[in-house]
A and B are shown apart, each in its own frame.
Chain A
Amino acid sequence: MTVDTILKNSAILPGNLPTHYLRVNREQWLQTAADMRKENATLLSLWGADDRDRDGGFRIFAAYLLPRVVLVVEYFLTDTVAPSYSSIASFFPVAARMQRAVHDLLGISTEAPDTRGWLRHGGWPETTFPLRKDFDGDQQYPVAAAPYSFVSVEGDGVHEIAVGPVHAGTIEPGHFRFSVVGEKVLRLEERLGYTHKGVAKLFEKTLQRDGHRLAARLSGDSAVAFSWAYCVSLESITGTVCPNRALWLRALALEQERIANHLGDLGALGNDAGFAFSLTQFSKLKEDLLRVNATAFGARYLMDYVVPGGVALDLTTEARGALLTFYDALEPSVIRMHSIFEEHAGVQDRFREAGRLEKETAEQLGAIGLVARASGIACDLRAHPCSKPYDALTPKISIQTEGDVAARAQIRFEEVLESLRLCRKILADIAAGAVHATVPVAKENQIGIGLIEGWRGPVMIALETGPDESIRRCHAHDPSWQNWPLLEYAILGNIVPDFPLINKSFNLSYSGQDG
């Protein structure tokens, strides 16, 4: 089917971007995936739900991003004894891990040969599926040994290096298994899921009015993006109109979050290339930003700033002044640091050609967000004509073509400067008015989709309401799901000592993908 026919046959779903909803049968599930691949759609997320209590079966969902619309495909599984659906990983390789996670949480399987657990590491029994409605979620089990077989590479002089889950620095936990010859990486296999905290199950014990707090804590460096995505899913279900001023303040907070993360990453990237000076400089600039956040938004990290219906705090004149003063100091510093990076032979030598991700590979494997833009793929939801309030701000999207560490650093430099422009424009043009609207109680059994371009890429919330302000199901998706497998490709043929640098240039979230 062509996109036009698919969209004509679909219903409309509440969401901040135009979202269509298509119910399919077993064959159509696979056929739609094939059609979406042909249309060069991006697989945004794949998740499941246990609806046996309400409808007598399970559901599996896939969300695809087309240039203008989001398409959510739903397949209802009537078999409750051995529920299964067809893997779409041959069309969208990024689906593989999500499908494994769906199995760990719901016991719905595909025919895919890789049946290793992804989120379940032996912390709960194999026959227990935490997201099923008849599991209460609070039960604790002793950890049982669950051996995990990594793919081994055979050959003369090949040896393995195992790293993690506890890493050498102050970073999140995960396991990397390198197969190397000498210094050269032949294969990298990641094993994640260590920080799985049962967030999806927790949502079902959370009231709709509190869900943004949990969403914000899925990945602390993307708190604004996730809480905004949550709020907008609830607001679109309830038909709440978020006041214009609040929307603009959300964008201001989101751009502050983008700048903060980019500054941190640029400092660490220079440092990993042996240029400690850059860490000192950028960590100072980032600290300046966090302090301004505390003045302007009431906290260094904006965990609870975006709330259903608006934002928690209005911006005072004093705060506006503090932000403007900060921007005036930040801009020349970043420009100067950019030229220092450019003319530093050591930095350039380490950045260029390192961890290259070709456009073709990136497209085939479904890259998303910043990583995709560094490999020449033009994608940024902020540029979507329906993306509020960005439609009034006309953000310029950064694209690089080289796909190496240098390209990912360059995107960050450009985006910091562009975000600065957006922040100034917001402060200049923001309308007066309320910053909060009352959110009515949502009708039950409504699904809403929230999609926000965070600093890493699009974060998604799929919210389904229950009775009495409860959450029936809430699926939160971090773009790291898409980009983690790409890191396995980017490192190939590089040397092991370059891994920290290449890894940093991706800077993916563990907690966001582990849930």
Chain B
Amino acid sequence: MWNTLARILQTGLLTESPPAPDDSASIHDTMQSDLRKILGRALCIRHVDAGSCNGCELEIVALNNPYYNIEGAGIKFVASPRHADMLLVTGPVSVNMEEALRRTYDAMPDPKWVVSVGDCGACGGVFGKSYASRGGVADVLPVNASVCGCPPSPTAILSTILNTVRPLDEKGKK
């Protein structure tokens, strides 16, 4: 127990400021208050791996580490699509995942955002289109934004998530 507490004290607080949206400066608190203003609550994300190599998942998972601490800023990964505002999709869409991806999307309440993650999600990446792959997420679902990279860094993923949500006041969701 003492060992654990000592370790916690020694580690201290690590959370860094999230990336600034476009060019204005931003900190964790702004992110949180922005989300509150836009959604009135936390942003709930459902992730679906539509056929990725698992590289992109690792960077999405990293968003929960203490440096990015996105849960602390009001972004939450949820288990059910019915609780989600945003669908985060990784991978090229494999034909074997096409139906499950569509079903997940359909199960989400309107309005909703879809963000594709990684070169694969953007255009199929190295896997392209084939008998086994439909290509990018946009070939299967309407996509609001894409994060490129193989895999993209957590900062890139986070900044795309924030930029997708922010223009809401002007454009309205979806």
A residues near B, CB below 8 A?
A: 119, 121, 123-124, 128, 130, 135, 137-141, 143, 165-166, 168-173, 193-199, 201-202, 213-214, 217-221, 223, 264, 277, 279-281, 283-284, 286-287, 290, 300-301, 303, 336-337, 339-340, 343-344, 509-511, 514
Contacts and interface: CB of A to CB of B under 8 A. Distances in A.
B57 A173 contact: no
Contacts of B133: 197-198
5 contacts: A130-B132, A194-B100, A201-B132, A217-B127, A301-B58
Contacts of B60: 170
Contacts of B134: 140
A283 B62 contact: yes
B130 A195 contact: no
B8 interface: yes
Nearest to A123: B95
Contacts of B58: 220-221, 264, 301
Given A137-B130, A196-B96, A277-B8, A283 B64 contact: yes
Nearest to A267: B65
A119 B133 CA distance: 13
Contacts of A213: 126
Contact of A202 (B47, B95, B130): B130
B94 A165 contact: no
A171 B100 contact: no
B52 interface: yes
A343 B3 contact: yes
A79 B79 CA distance: 50
A413 to B, nearest CB: 15
Contact of B56 (A220, A283, A343): A220
A139 B53 CA distance: 22
B24 interface: no
A510 B91 CA distance: 13
Nearest to A194: B96
A137 B131 contact: yes
Given A166-B100, A283-B65, A197 B94 contact: yes
Given A194-B51, A220-B55, A340-B3, A286 B129 contact: no
A277 B10 CA distance: 13
Contact of B77 (A170, A173, A195, A303): A170
Contacts of B99: 143
Interface in B62-102: 62, 64-67, 77, 79, 91-92, 94-100
SS class, residues of chain B in contact with chain A: mixed
B151 A220 contact: yes
A206 to B, nearest CB: 9
B3 to A, nearest CB: 5
A165 B151 contact: no
Nearest to A278: B4
A230 to B, nearest CB: 13
Given A169-B79, A220-B52, A287 B96 contact: no
B127 to A, nearest CB: 5
Given A173-B100, A201-B130, A287-B67, 11 more contacts: A119-B96, A128-B131, A130-B132, A135-B131, A138-B131, A193-B96, A202-B127, A217-B150, A286-B62, A300-B59, A303-B55
B44 interface: no
Contact of A336 (B7, B57, B64, B150): B7
A178 to B, nearest CB: 18
Contacts of B50: 173
A430 to B, nearest CB: 27
A31 B56 CA distance: 44
Contact of B131 (A124, A217, A509): A124
B48 interface: yes
Nearest to B81: A166
B9 interface: no
B25 interface: no
B65 A171 contact: no
A139 B48 CA distance: 25
Contacts of A143: 95, 98-99
A313 to B, nearest CB: 16
Contacts of B56: 220
Nearest to B92: A197
B132 A197 contact: yes
Given A121-B96, A283-B66, A219 B132 contact: no
Contacts of A514: 94, 96
Interface string B121-140: 00001111111111000000
Contact of A123 (B8, B14, B96): B96
A271 to B, nearest CB: 10
Q: Which of A173, A196, A287, A290 has the most CB of B within 10 A?
A: A173
Given A165-B97, A166-B48, A198 B14 contact: no
B54 A219 contact: yes
Nearest to B78: A168
Q: Which of B50, B58, B125, B153 has the most CB of A within 10 A?
A: B58
B104 interface: yes
The 8 closest A-B pairs by CB, nearest first: A220-B55, A123-B95, A198-B132, A283-B65, A168-B79, A220-B53, A121-B96, A220-B54
Contact of B54 (A168, A284, A337, A511): A511
A195 B52 contact: yes
Contacts of B47: 170
B97 A171 contact: no
